[in-house]
Amino acid sequence: MTLLVEPVRMNSTADAEPHIYQSTVTRPVAVDVSKVSLTFDTADGKVEALSNVDLQISGGEFVSFIGPSGCGKTTLLRVIADLQQPSSGSVTVNGMSAEQARLGRNYGYVFQAPALFPWRSIEANLKLPLELMGFSPTEQKQRAARYLDLVNLTGFERKFPWQLSGGMQQRVSIARALSFDPELLLMDEPFGALDEIVRDHLNEQLLQLWAKTRKTVLFVTHSIPEAVFLSTKIVVMSPRPGRITDIIDCNFRRDRTLEIRETPEFMAIAQRVRTGLRAGHSYDE
């Protein structure tokens, strides 16, 4: 089960080069979050899930959101996806309001769990959004085949979700999110429930997918190595109230491999993320 890559640019000069990758293309702002606050009314009183969050994400970036639980990273992703309305502030996605973007099917969303429909075969699961969006049956079939191939699951069309491992199911859900070719991919701890080996593997595959499709990816995670490995930008968040405490650029080459985790540059960024997390964390519990 290997690569779904464009030819890997691994040659002798690559080693000589620094691992830093400078983005030359500047693309328009894909996501613009401006002064967003969100307060939940709970039984224990008001909880400020997000407080005055400002964030701009350019097209083609891979942005990770990292922070302890309760820091609002998932909430922020849900606000961008128009699954939750902010109490104040505004969100623009591809130049539209979040709601317009959702109605226009501008993004694919991957949840913590695969959330496949158990009564549908893998192929039928992939076709579901396409059915809803009115693609023709032939187009549905072609796209299902193409995106199953993209996540290396060709041959599993007729299987049902329970016949696949957790990692395979999550790959199906990623393929499903990509199947209608949205500009934006929102991922909420997609690999959180998987073991580390599968996770490493899927991280590599996701990176290749990103390099290949040039989507803008917003990725929520708990894991520092995962964030540093995948991202072009890391947003560090902290709880009570949920806010952004640091934004770290992380421009490794797009065709990075897991080995970069051993390099000093990687360590340095990971260290900065860790410091940011520690600073923002309140130990009053």
Partner 1 sequence: MTSSTVDTMPVARAAWRTHPLVKRSAPVVTIVAVLIVVWYIGAVLMNLSLVRGGFEREEAPYTTMELLEGTMSAERPLLPAPHQVVGAFIDGVFGYAPTAPRSLVYHSMVTLSATLLGFALGALLGIVLALAIVHSRVLERSLMPWIICSQMVPILALAPIFIVVLGAIGLQGLLPKSIISAYLSFFPITIGMVKGFTSPDPMQMDLMRTWSATSRQVLSKLRWPSAVPYLFASLKVAITISLIGAIVAELPTGAEAGIGARLLAGSYYGQTIQIWSALVAAAVLASGLIAIVSYAERKVAQRMGARS
SS3 225: helix
Total of chain residues touching partner 1, rule CB under 8 A:
27
Is residue 105 part of the contact set for partner 1 (CB under 8 A)?
yes
Residue 120 binds to partner 1 (criterion: CB under 8 A): yes
- Considering the rule CB under 8 A, would residue 83 count as an interface residue with partner 1? yes
283 binds partner 1 (CB under 8 A): no
Structure tokens at 248: 């770290």
DSSP string, 249-279: E--B-TT--GGGGGSHHHHHHHHHHHHHHHH
Please name which of 148, 73, 145, 85 lies closest in space to residue 112, comparing C-alpha atoms.
Answer: 73
CA dihedral 9, 10, 16, 21 (to 10 degrees): 40
Q: How many CB atoms lie within 10 A of CB 15?
A: 8
Q: How far is the CB of 110 from partner 1 (least distance, A)?
A: 10
How long is the chain?
Answer: 285
CB of 253 to partner 1, least distance (A): 31
Q: Identify how many contiguous H helices and E strands the chain contains and give both numbers.
A: 9, 10
Q: Per-residue x/- marks for partner 1, 179-198, CB under 8 A?
A: -x------------------
For residue 191, give every residue at least 6 positions away whose Cβ sits within 8 Å of its Cβ, in sequence order, or none: 170, 198, 199, 202, 203, 221, 226
Q: Which residues pair with 57 in a beta bridge?
A: 31
Report the residue from 65, 109, 210, 252 that binds partner 1 according to the rule CB under 8 A.
109
Helix (H, G, I), strand (E, B) or coil at 280: helix
Pick the binder of partner 1 from 132, 258, 267, 268 (CB under 8 A). 132
Region binding partner 1 by CB under 8 A among candidate stretches 8-16, 109-117, 219-227, 261-269 = 109-117
Stretch that binds partner 1, among 55-63, 106-114, 262-270, 274-282 (CB under 8 A): 106-114
- Comparing CB distances to partner 1, the nearer of 62 and 107 is 107
- Select the residue interacting with partner 1 from 5, 47, 128, 198 (CB under 8 A): 128
Note whether 141 binds partner 1 by CB under 8 A. no
Please state the closest distance from residue 157 (CB atom) to partner 1, in A: 13
The residues binding partner 1 (CB under 8 A) are 81, 83, 102-105, 107-109, 111-113, 115, 117-121, 128-129, 131-133, 160-162, 180
